[in-house]
A and B are shown apart, each in its own frame.
Chain A
């Protein structure tokens, strides 16, 4: 599904990713944890094709070189990012936005487009997953949405676009426990054999709800440790500092206190 090899990325001559290696099989959910500034979000950005990075190394997605594709081509190929900070787009209706997105995706795949009536039926079905009602669809994209509403809106888009690789960037940030539960249950409902997920998070809390197959610890632009879901619990208990000791010398400043 996804194979990342020796991925380096820098911005304005500052190296942020310093040789990331990661492999994701179909249906697997991997968590990437790490302190602020460790490069987690940069990894997500590079995977979806955000401009401004000098990138080397390779990312193979379903047998093709992902790094040569434009963001929209990656999306059409089934890569999805749930943004940490979903963008507000005044003047574009949420419903229209999602229909345009789905139809753009279908067009690029040579599939038939959905008319508004069929799309509405589809959207209403998916909205139940994240407990959203019609009023959200009639508003401008994310405009005036609360933090929780924005994150639910991201998961709704994921449900509608049905990606093969979903990257969730700090989806738990800014959520209270009820909102977290709704978002997580939406994500869990979308887990399937053919769909892989990369869950980027700062806190172990999210992983109580979205239980990963593997956990990777990222510090200073590298994955320094990998393990099963228990690794997250260990991190929760001991913090990232313990992990850093394994890679001492190079990683002296990062870390969060818990």
Chain B
């Protein structure tokens, strides 16, 4: 069966990915997901959560679903350049499929599982049922599309008390060789009680390849689990990137996610966090640096469903050229979620008259005993500060770079992994001409 006519454009031709040995629940979930997309179509400007992000350019491309690990041009050097080797376990996916050639699974403590979704689907998919067998359409069409098509991605299970010292690196690299492909990586990370790990996702690809990454990453944190998550999105500007990071947190768990958004022509990074357990903490940060005609959309939903939970959001954007930024942050504090401490902040620096930002911080509160703040700011380069620096002999370009660096340095400082921090510093230095590597006091 194919997607029915309500789905826009060429994506309507897709069929759910049904394996002969798939259990019934999976086949049903995939069919139902695609059917839902067929009936409801992809989001339009009329959907609140997609108001500022036009999808027409994506829906107009005649994408094929990626099948086998093609990527004939990919070399280890290309992977290393896209994602600095952090030395620990490293799963590399080329065109959405696991590549054993570039991957390494070492440094994983006994009992912990670091493998691929494909391996789990082949060996015993039932543990994945909770991640697929939800009512279709509870999320959005892209997530449903991923439900229907996902074949591979990372699968990580950290049993109680497991501590993985080295960061677990997930690299998604695309090399389509001229065929427009859509990738549907699906990663599942299950952190049992008191487990602890750092996960780093990097998305990149070959310049000028046209493709669409439609990724879903799901995390389940049990009591007192602690996960630090990083995401570097550095797809070529010929590509599209739509991603959902979906998190559920149990009692006392701590989750942080830091997003560095650099690439793609249209990129949307959606984070949904459900705080289910008492005293859970989440901290979400993001920096986005669109230039040219890039569109970067950060959509965040934090759902305070338990008492005494804490959530922090800080998103900062620097926009140049005709770039378009979207911040759509929504905090929901449910009835009874007393003791909630939630804040969200979005700050934007516009370097050009033609750059645009739509920022929409939202609080929706159904209880009294809460501490919630939110705020958004959009500003331009401070001319007075530029002049001040110039009168101190600092040339105009360097002065601009210094002020841009000063604006984003707060985000850089929050990155605790040195190689990632250095990478962001290099990007900022290259893009804005600042001598960033020596700014930090």
Interface residues of A (CB under 8 A from B): 48-51, 70-72, 74-76, 80-81, 83, 86-93, 95-98, 100-102, 104-105, 108, 138, 140, 157, 161
Contacts and interface: CB of A to CB of B under 8 A. Distances in A.
A206 to B, nearest CB: 21
Contact of B394 (A86, A87, A93, A100): A100
Interface stretch (B50-58, B104-112, B196-204, B379-387): B379-387
Given A89-B406, A91-B405, A91-B407, A76 B393 contact: yes
B130 interface: no
A81 B438 CA distance: 26
A208 to B, nearest CB: 28
Contacts of B402: 92, 100
A75 B391 contact: yes
A96 B395 contact: no
A70 B396 contact: yes
B390 A75 contact: yes
A86 B388 contact: yes
Contacts of A93: 439-441
B392 A48 contact: no
B410 A72 contact: no
Given A89-B389, A100-B398, 5 more contacts: A48-B387, A72-B396, A92-B406, A95-B441, A101-B393
Given A91-B406, A91-B410, A72 B395 contact: yes
Contacts of A86: 388
A65 to B, nearest CB: 18
B435 interface: yes
B140 to A, nearest CB: 36
B394 A72 contact: yes
B384 A72 contact: no
B393 A91 contact: no
Contact of B391 (A71, A88, A98, A138): A71
A105 B393 contact: yes
Given A50-B387, A87-B384, A96 B394 contact: no
A104 B438 CA distance: 14
Residue among A51, A81, A100 facing the most chain B CB atoms (10 A cut-off): A100
Contacts of B440: 93
Given A92-B406, A93-B439, A87 B385 contact: yes
A72 B390 contact: yes
A104 B435 CA distance: 12
B403 interface: yes
B406 A72 contact: no
A161 B392 CA distance: 8
B409 interface: yes
Contacts of A108: 393
A86 B391 CA distance: 12
B394 A101 contact: yes
A57 B399 CA distance: 29
Contacts of B403: 89, 92
Given A72-B396, A87-B385, A100-B402, A92 B391 contact: no
Contacts of A161: 392-393
A71 B399 CA distance: 12
Interface string B395-424: 110110011011101100000000000000
Residue among B387, B393, B438 facing the most chain A CB atoms (10 A cut-off): B393
Nearest to B390: A71
Contacts of A105: 392-393
Residue among A75, A98, A108 facing the most chain B CB atoms (10 A cut-off): A75
Contacts of B394: 72, 100-101, 104
